[in-house]
């Protein structure tokens, strides 16, 4: 399959089940809501070492938030409910509670719930006050600029993590330009995030390592500097490979996000230095969700 001069490999991206939640962060201005979100979702690129994967899903106008102020919706993903709860509480407590003028609300409902303000209320040292509005409980926690308002809990969702595709290009600059376009396209898809810096991964990994302590290691087949000394998946003209990794609330969201990202790369075309599109396929060792590239593009 060749689109705009780019070969699309007959392969699939291998993804896996995750647990997720959505929260809404508001503040006196969008700038401060994003300060809180960027801090809370920092160091959240991969569950391999970060505990969770997180990012801003979309910006929200005042009319779309619970308190009528500007804000953002954010998604957090983890491999277990326990880990997601721990990461959520730490990040909200250290990065949103601490940020001037912010409030935090549930962004989803589910059969199960996760603590949001339920335990953070104790920071109020006994001065905290709860309010029940339309069957939902909120906590008002006194802080030095007024009050921090936090909804008691947010929903837990079953989700999909690790959808991906690889961009093989003639140069790093060309690969990065195409991936930046892909990340921007994915950012416009509700229900999905690309959690790595700028939405792009340079250090694509394979399952396992020669070192027993490591669960993952460099994807040597796609490293240009190892061509000639390791088994390579690269043709001679490929000098750089970058990866887009996607987490999504639903299977459908994942397919829409992957399609949007790949379409953006294909639009750059061979004229922009792109040679191939491929994906992280681990032979079924990693996850039960498979996303065939050609099927999604068709």
**Model confidence pLDDT, tens digit, residues 92-101:** 999 999 999 9
Q: Which residues of 284-297 are buried (b: 16+ CB within 10 A; e: fewer)?
A: eebbebebebeebe
Domain residue spans in the chain?
2-14+160-297, 18-157
The answer to whether the CB of 8 falls within 8 A of the CB of 277 is: yes
- Whether 2-14+160-297 shares its CATH topology with 18-157 is answered yes
In the prediction, which pLDDT does 104 show?
A: 98
Taking residues 143-171, report their average pLDDT.
Answer: 97
* DSSP-based three-state secondary structure for 266: helix
Judged by phi (left if over 0) then psi (alpha if -120 to 50, else beta), residue 291 lies in beta
> Quick one: which H or E segment has residue 157?
strand 157-169
Taking residues 8-22, report their average pLDDT.
Answer: 96
pLDDT of 284 strictly over 90: no
Q: Residue 3: how many CB atoms within 10 A of its CB?
A: 17
The alpha carbon of 238 is separated from its chain's Cα centroid by a whole number of angstroms, namely 27
Higher pLDDT pick, 212 / 295:
295
Average pLDDT, the chain: 96
Q: Half-sphere exposure of 17 toward its Cβ, with a 13 Å CA cutoff?
A: 5
pLDDT of 244 strictly over 90: yes
Look up tokens 């339309």; give the residue: 134
Confidence band, pLDDT 50/70/90 cuts, at residue 111? confident
In the prediction, which pLDDT does 292 show?
A: 96
Architecture of domain 2-14+160-297: 2-Layer Sandwich (3.30)
Architecture of domain 18-157: 2-Layer Sandwich (3.30)
Taking residues 48-77, report their average pLDDT.
Answer: 97
């Amino acid at each position: 399959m060749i689109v705009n001069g780019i070969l699309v490999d007959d392969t699939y991206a291998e993804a896996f089940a995750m647990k997720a939640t959505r929260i809404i962060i508001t503040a006196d201005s969008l700038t401060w809501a994003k300060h809180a979100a960027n801090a809370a979702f920092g160091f959240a690129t991969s569950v391999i070492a970060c505990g969770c994967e997180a990012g801003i899903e979309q910006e929200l106008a005042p009319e779309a938030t619970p308190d009528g102020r500007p804000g953002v919706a954010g998604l957090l993903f983890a491999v277990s409910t326990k880990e997601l709860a721990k990461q959520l509480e730490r990040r909200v407590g250290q990065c949103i509670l601490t940020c001037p003028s912010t409030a935090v609300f549930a962004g989803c409902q589910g059969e199960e719930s996760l603590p949001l303000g339920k335990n953070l209320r104790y920071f109020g040292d006994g001065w905290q006050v709860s309010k029940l509005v339309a069957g939902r409980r909120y906590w008002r926690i006194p802080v030095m600029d007024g009050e921090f308002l936090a909804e008691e809990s947010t929903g837990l969702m079953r989700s999909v993590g690790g959808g991906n595709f690889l961009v093989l290009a003639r140069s790093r600059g060309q690969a990065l330009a195409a991936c930046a376009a892909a990340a921007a396209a994915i950012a416009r898809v509700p229900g999905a995030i690309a959690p790595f810096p700028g939405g792009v991964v340079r250090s694509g990994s394979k399952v396992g390592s020669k070192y027993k302590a490591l669960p993952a290691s460099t994807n040597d087949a796609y490293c240009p500097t190892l061509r000639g000394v390791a088994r390579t998946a690269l043709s001679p003209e490929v000098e750089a490979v970058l990866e887009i990794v996607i987490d999504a609330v639903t299977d459908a969201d994942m397919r829409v996000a992957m399609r949007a990202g790949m379409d953006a790369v294909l639009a750059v075309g061979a004229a922009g230095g792109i040679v191939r599109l491929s994906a992280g396929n681990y032979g079924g060792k990693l996850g039960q969700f498979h996303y065939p590239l050609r099927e999604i593009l068709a």
